[in-house]
Amino acid sequence: MLVRVGRFIGMGRAGAAVPRIHLSGLSIAEDAEVGDLIGTLSVANSPDGVSWTFTLGDGAPSEVALDESDDTRLEVASALTPGPLGVPIVATSDEETPTVLNRTFGLVVTEVVDPDPPSYVPTYYYLGF
């Protein structure tokens, strides 16, 4: 039996690169403060001259937000708990007929482990010299 395996390249012109949302950072420490940068959003393979507006998608966690003055900056919005965090992002082009891209990023909130205090207490002796 012969089985043929193919791959999905995407919709559009043959050989044309499909625009895709990218996020520069995919992890953040649990002790990050509100306003700390998680990563910067961009669209790869964007047609020349096209600008994009980013928004959080439906069901976005309250722990993250887009910067009010720069929607390409994904930031910490509230206290984080270690573990995975799914963040849906929507990018909309400024074309006459806008292109809308959706992508959910799997962020990892890493646990910060405080080192154990030393298990010994230094003892000093005065030798009277």
- What's domain 20-108's superfamily in CATH? Cadherins (2.60.40.60)
Which amino acid is located at 18 in the chain? V
pLDDT at 76: 98
Q: Please check whether residue 18 is in contact with residue 44, taking contact to mean a CB–CB distance below 8 angstroms.
A: no
Mean pLDDT of 79-89: 96
Residue 41 corresponds to which tokens in the numbers above?
Answer: 């959003």
**What residue segments make up the domains of the chain, in order of their start?**
20-108
pLDDT in tens, 54-66: 999 999 999 999 9
Residue 69 corresponds to which tokens in the numbers above?
Answer: 């003055």
pTM above 0.85, yes or no: no
Residue 87 has pLDDT above 50, yes or no: yes
CA dist 58 to 22, 87, 104, Å? 18, 9, 10
- Tell me the Ramachandran region of residue 45: left when phi exceeds 0, alpha when psi lies from -120 to 50, beta otherwise: left
Q: Please check whether residue 40 is in contact with residue 54, taking contact to mean a CB–CB distance below 8 angstroms.
A: no
When pLDDT is cut at 50, 70 and 90, the band that residue 114 belongs to is confident
